Structure 1
């Protein structure tokens, strides 16, 4: 059985990003650390939202900063 964490990473196309980070999912993001692209920020925010497993989600243009391929993958999202 796949954990919610792994399903969320896969659904939000974050696996490749985490592989590039020096400390994977333990990498500090923010002041004096790594900078994220707009698409990475958007996918990370979506992942944090999905991981909460709420009954209702209110999203304001969640695909605005992601590229076409990522947007297509996110649209197929099934949690």
Structure 2
């Protein structure tokens, strides 16, 4: 679950057209928004990990298989994209 998609910043883009001169502040606002999003995502991830209970443990895995599966998932989600 993602809380905020920072790439979609229509409110900040609209603020760029504000006659009050917010333009110089927008880069700082965007950075702060991204940092806050990261913090919220980290808190949610930590909560999910803690909710998983004591059964959660590290297991060895093969990186090539993980990458292969991630690529396959990406092709399934976005079949029109060329890699």
Query: What TM-score do the two structures reach when normalised by structure 2?
Result: 0.27
Which structure shows the higher helix fraction?
2
TM-score, normalised to structure 1, is 0.28
Where relative contact order (Cα < 8 A, 6+ residues apart) is larger, the structure is 1
